[in-house]
Amino acid sequence: MKGPEDDAGLAGKVAIVSGGGAAGDGIGNGRAAAILLARAGTRVLVADLDLKLAERTVDMIKAEGGHAAAHAGDMTKEAECKQLVDAAVDRWGRLDFLDNNIGIGSRGSVVDEKPDEYRRVMQVNVETMFLLSKHAIPAMIKTAKGGSIVNISSISALRPRGLTTYTTSKAAVIGLTQAMAVDHGRDHIRVNCICPGPMYTPMVNRGNGMSEAARAARAKASVLKIEGTGWDIGHGVRFLLSNHARYITGHVLVIDGGVTLQGPERDSAT
């Protein structure tokens, strides 16, 4: 006998995936989530600062028979966040899900970090989620009578290893997630957070690329002794957005292969 948990509730729904592009054919957290949602029948609006990166994700989805569209925008600007939400509703008539992936890194200590850089990291890593949620939540309530949001944080927020500005921003994402979960539970909107560990993604491998020795060291930091990828985060996003997680909100899901069980790893965590 089937219960409500047997239906993932993703088919026919509409999702925005911010930061849904990735370099080349690489699989970042956002691209993986977009592809996996589309495979489950969700219509996905893939947003990225670089339209070409978003379009590549859309091409990959359409090659599998999924439904998606690309959107370019700077999500540090409120007007462009509103335009993104409006674009999803205008195209498909509703909005059910928001996956907030946008983020940048920073390595300075509180002494070394320049105030302008601190403000920039907080703006990109936290304010974009605030602004997108600010416009997505009313659209979810109006068009779908509820919805679900996933914000991407980091295990650095749970096991600080320096990187003061980055760590502060990712800790703020957890606070934002849990506060929104309380504020909007009455609106039938769930808000959860994922803290990735040392995932191998195009963002991590940018520039000259990560050496095999560095990748091996990152894998060794896991109790499973394997390397995480964007797909691992994408599966977590799809689960938290689905009906399978219908009674989960304000939760911080750690996807790190057990890295945080062994204490901080300065060179391997994200």
Q: Tell me the CATH number at 81.
A: 3.40.50.720
Judge whether 204 lies within some domain: no
Which are the catalytic amino acids?
166
166-196 pLDDT tens trace: 999 999 999 999 999 999 999 999 999 999 9
Q: In terms of residue numbers, what domain contains 179?
A: 4-198+229-254
Overall size of the chain counted in residues: 270
User: pLDDT for 6-18, tens place per residue?
Assistant: 689 999 999 999 9
The answer to whether position 82 is within a domain reads: yes
- What is the pLDDT averaged over residues 70-88? 98
Tell how many helices (H) and how many strands (E) occur in the chain: 8, 9
Between residues 218 and 22, which one has the greater pLDDT? 22
pTM (2 d.p.):
0.93
Residue 153 counted as domain residue: yes
Rounded to the nearest integer, the mean pLDDT of the chain is 93
Asked whether residue 43 carries a pLDDT value surpassing 50, the answer given is yes
Read off the pLDDT of each residue in 195-221 and give the average, rounded to a whole number.
Answer: 80
Q: Chain centroid to CA 26: how far?
A: 16
Span 85-119, pLDDT tens digits: 999 999 999 999 999 999 999 988 999 999 999 99
Contact between residue 172 and residue 152 where contact means Cβ atoms under 8 Å apart? no
Q: Say if 217 falls within a structural domain.
A: no
Task: Provide the pLDDT for residue 161.
Answer: 85
Residue 65: which residues within 8 A CB-CB, separation 6 or more? Answer: none
Query: Does 261 fall in a domain?
Result: no
- Percent of the residues in the chain that have a pLDDT greater than 70, as a whole number: 93
Domain annotation covers residue 210: no
| Mean pLDDT of the 134-149 span | 98
Asked if residue 211 is part of any domain, the answer here is no
Contact 100, 129 (CB under 8 A): yes
Residue 148's pLDDT is 98
Of residues 151, 140, 159, the one with CA closest to residue 178: 151
Whether residue 102 is contained in a domain is answered as yes
* Each residue's pLDDT tens digit, 214-239: 888 888 889 999 999 999 999 999 99
* pLDDT above 50 for 268: no
Separation CA 57–CA 54 (nearest Å): 5
Q: What is the pLDDT of residue 200?
A: 87
Domains in the chain, number: 1
